[in-house]
């Protein structure tokens, strides 16, 4: 078996079987074996023209075994702790990986990301929901559909109790604007969301970062209790205190992507003592290890192998520590545990064994429609508990409709101002509909970390999140305000009183508003910095506005530039509104008592086709095309961002 095959067949196949845990009381447990895992990335240091991409090695052939219990991964910042966790958890692009990862001697199943738990460093709990609601959300999506609502509630109550969260179960988590539960309670909620489905392997990326010493201690004690029920807990951690060190079963020390120690945490002190490093009595061993890795601590007795080491030079110390570890008893012991597992797997493969395909196994615990219901419910709750933006949108629309109604109040169809006022009102209204959508940029940007985490962890399909978010935005933020804006403005202005004309006006405003917001959704799913997304959106709108037909007559534009009119949602909207109102409209000079066919003349002068019924609808179809196109692009971008961490 090639190493590549071993690891990456892991992605392709197999459900993973359970073996008895070395820990008492564990009915099912998982032992993670990894061998020669290399992870590298192509990094570009400048513009593609001048800087070819360079390969950066992040993990340089690391091997080890994580058993049920508390497995700590430590190392200086940038040593590759998070990368190691992500790689084992199947959250990195397999194209950048080589090596073997086995769970209980089998390649991890394709849906390993969904059946294991991963608590990320960032906050990924919904701030507007309570602690209990967040856990219920996870339970509704991560437990099989066959588990009843009652049982889900019970499981959540059990977890709240286990994590010491019962007292704050009905408190909101809190957002940037409103204070909620404490940092420790928030972190425990994140852990609870991952524990819902009782994963056999739980990964935690720096679970104590940002917590005070006693909260960090209580989080680690909880994790230790969970590990004693047979869960393999693998976590990275930064400079924990001694109390926390005592909760570890195994310790992995990483330095620049290489392992300098992987074994029992208790005997780690003896190991370093044998290298000549003596930890003073009151020194925290983990602080001491960090000092060793950085070269700040020196062996008190330097043996012959270490004579050539330049202890003033970190790379020299690191190279010596790695080499010493690879020649040590500790490594031989690790290797003795890895080798039979690899051999057994390789023998099975040679005998023609192919891991059971999971291609037909459901990756998600729940159906598309159930996911849609649960995610939409959360999005609606979020909106109702954070109503400022939707109320502002509604109020602004009413204010603008009254304003535009007062400015253009009951416009007459006279020869002097009739055409100008109508064109003015269409431009103003279209501009209002398009620029009123700048807020839609928040849609995917705001919750990106939560979405990436939940999508990678298999809470729901990307399409579910996309549909839930889009509908929960379009209905309250675009459709409802428009239902007030359209009748107020239309009838105050005094446009054609025919009901069918009003409906075309309403439909057109809805389409142009949706087209503008769809472009905003696309940018929101593509760009991760709000300010940059705003600049792109504003520039696109201004570009489209120039070709609307009011600021410049597009029929007189040079051919080299006139194609741009087809990219303007302003133009389609202006054309449709103009045809709807002006076609066959007579403009009269009351003093001379004479009427002119100025409506048709205006349309002809602007090069707007209007004679056939379809001429109006082509504009609405084009707006529909923009909506569809931008939504598809937004979905594709969302899929891309929700694949790997």
Ligand X SMILES: Nc1ncnc2c1ncn2[C@@H]1O[C@H](COP(=O)(O)OP(=O)(O)OP(=O)(O)O)[C@@H](O)[C@H]1O
Binding residues vs ligand X (CB under 6 A): 41, 43, 56, 58, 75, 77-83, 236
Type and span of the H or E element at 389: helix 388-407
Minimal distance, residue 276 CB to ligand X, in Å: 26
58 vs 603, beta carbon nearer ligand X: 58
Up-side HSE of residue 40: CA atoms within 13 Å toward CB? 13
Q: How far is CA 188 from the centre of its chain?
A: 20
Residue pair 387/480 in contact (Cβ under 8 Å)? The answer is no
Minimal distance, residue 627 CB to ligand X, in Å: 34
Minimal distance, residue 465 CB to ligand X, in Å: 23
Q: Count Cβ atoms within 10 A of the Cβ of residue 55 and give its class: 0-12 exposed, 13-18 middle, 19 or more buried.
A: exposed
**How far apart are alpha carbons 193 and 175 in whole angstroms?**
18
DSSP single-letter state for residue 622: H
97 vs 623, beta carbon nearer ligand X: 97
90 vs 476, beta carbon nearer ligand X: 90
Residues 6+ apart with CB under 8 A from 88: 32, 34, 37, 66, 101, 203, 234
Residue pair 156/135 in contact (Cβ under 8 Å)? The answer is yes
Dihedral (C-alpha) 483, 575, 431, 570: value to the nearest 10 degrees?
A: 120
**How far apart are alpha carbons 73 and 83 in whole angstroms?**
11
106 vs 205, beta carbon nearer ligand X: 205
80 vs 458, beta carbon nearer ligand X: 80
Minimal distance, residue 564 CB to ligand X, in Å: 37
Residue pair 241/235 in contact (Cβ under 8 Å)? The answer is no
85 vs 309, beta carbon nearer ligand X: 85
Up-side HSE of residue 433: CA atoms within 13 Å toward CB? 34
Minimal distance, residue 77 CB to ligand X, in Å: 4
Token couple for 125: 């709990």
43 vs 145, beta carbon nearer ligand X: 43
- Taking phi over 0 as left and psi of -120 to 50 as alpha, with beta for the rest, 206 belongs to left
78 vs 412, beta carbon nearer ligand X: 78
Minimal distance, residue 608 CB to ligand X, in Å: 51
Minimal distance, residue 314 CB to ligand X, in Å: 14
Evaluate the CA torsion angle 55, 60, 65, 67 in order and state its sign.
Answer: negative
79 vs 518, beta carbon nearer ligand X: 79
Task: With H, G, I as helix, E, B as strand and everything else as coil, classify residue 398.
Answer: helix
Minimal distance, residue 204 CB to ligand X, in Å: 12
Minimal distance, residue 380 CB to ligand X, in Å: 35
Among 526, 560, 551, 538, CA closest to 632: 526
142 vs 645, beta carbon nearer ligand X: 645
Residue pair 131/170 in contact (Cβ under 8 Å)? The answer is yes
Minimal distance, residue 390 CB to ligand X, in Å: 36
209 vs 267, beta carbon nearer ligand X: 209
Compute the 3-state secondary structure of the chain and give helix, strand, coil in percent, each to the nearest 5: 55, 10, 35
Among 632, 241, 284, CA closest to 467: 632
Minimal distance, residue 236 CB to ligand X, in Å: 6
C-alpha angle 367-373-377 in degrees, rounded to nearest 5: 145
């Amino acid at each position: 078996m090639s190493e590549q095959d071993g690891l990456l067949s892991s992605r392709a196949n197999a459900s993973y079987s359970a073996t008895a845990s070395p820990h008492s009381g564990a009915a099912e447990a998982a032992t993670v074996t990894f061998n020669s895992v290399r992870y590298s990335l192509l990094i570009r240091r400048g513009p593609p023209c001048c800087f070819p991409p360079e390969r950066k090695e992040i993990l340089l052939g690391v091997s080890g075994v994580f058993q049920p219990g508390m497995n700590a991964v430590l190392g200086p910042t940038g040593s590759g702790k998070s990368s190691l966790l992500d790689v084992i958890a199947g959250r990195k692009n397999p194209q950048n990986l080589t090596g073997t990862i086995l769970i209980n001697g089998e390649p991890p199943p394709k849906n390993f990301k969904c059946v294991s738990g991963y608590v990320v460093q960032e906050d990924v709990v919904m701030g507007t929901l309570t602690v209990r609601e967040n856990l219920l959300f996870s339970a509704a999506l991560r437990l099989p559909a066959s588990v009843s609502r009652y049982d889900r509630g019970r499981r959540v109550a059990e977890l709240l109790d286990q994590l010491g969260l019962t007292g704050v179960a009905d408190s909101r988590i809190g957002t940037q604007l409103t204070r909620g539960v404490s940092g420790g309670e928030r972190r425990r909620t994140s852990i609870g969301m991952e524990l819902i489905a009782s994963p056999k392997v739980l990964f935690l990326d720096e679970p104590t970062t940002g917590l005070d010493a006693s909260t960090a201690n209580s989080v680690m004690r909880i994790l230790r209790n969970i590990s004693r029920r047979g869960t393999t807990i693998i976590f990275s951690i930064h400079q924990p205190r001694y109390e926390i060190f005592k909760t570890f079963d195994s310790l992995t020390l990483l330095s620049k992507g290489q392992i300098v120690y992987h074994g029992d945490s208790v005997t780690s002190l003896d190991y370093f003592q044998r290298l000549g490093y003596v930890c003073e009595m009151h020194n925290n061993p983990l602080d001491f290890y960090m000092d060793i890795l950085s070269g700040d601590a020196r062996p008190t007795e330097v043996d012959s192998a270490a004579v050539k080491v330049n202890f003033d030079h970190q790379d020299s110390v690191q190279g010596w520590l790695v080499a010493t570890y690879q020649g040590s008893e500790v490594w031989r012991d690790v290797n003795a545990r890895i080798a039979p597992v690899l051999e057994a797997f390789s023998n099975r493969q040679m005998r023609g064994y192919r891991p059971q395909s999971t291609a037909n196994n459901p990756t998600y615990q729940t159906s598309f429609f159930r996911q849609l219901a649960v995610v939409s419910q959360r999005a609606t709750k979020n909106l109702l508990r954070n109503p400022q933006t939707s109320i502002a949108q509604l109020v602004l629309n009413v204010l603008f409709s009254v304003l535009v109604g007062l400015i253009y109040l009951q416009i007459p169809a006279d020869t002097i101002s009739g055409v100008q006022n109508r064109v003015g009102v269409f431009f103003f209204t279209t501009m209002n509909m398009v620029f009123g959508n700048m807020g839609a940029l928040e849609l995917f940007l705001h919750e990106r970390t939560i979405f990436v985490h939940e999508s990678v962890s298999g809470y729901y399909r990307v399409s579910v999140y996309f549909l839930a978010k889009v509908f929960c935005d379009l209905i309250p933020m675009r459709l409802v305000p428009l239902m007030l804006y359209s009748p107020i403005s239309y009838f105050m202005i005094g446009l054609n009183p025919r009901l069918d004309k009003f409906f075309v006006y309403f439909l057109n405003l809805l389409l142009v508003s949706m087209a503008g917001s769809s472009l905003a959704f696309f940018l929101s799913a593509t760009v991760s910095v709000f300010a940059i997304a705003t600049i792109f959106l504003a520039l696109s709108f201004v570009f489209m506005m120039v070709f609307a037909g009011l600021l410049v007559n597009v029929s007189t534009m040079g051919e080299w530039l006139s194609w741009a009119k087809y990219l303007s949602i302003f133009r389609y909207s202006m054309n449709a509104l103009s045809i709807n109102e002006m076609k066959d409209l007579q403009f009269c000079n009351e003093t001379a008592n004479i009427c002119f066919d100025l409506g048709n003349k205006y349309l002809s002068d602007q090069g707007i086709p209007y004679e056939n019924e379809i001429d109006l609808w082509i504009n609405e179809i084009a707006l529909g095309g923009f909506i569809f196109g931008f939504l598809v692009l937004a979905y594709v971008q969302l899929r891309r961002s929700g694949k790997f961490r």
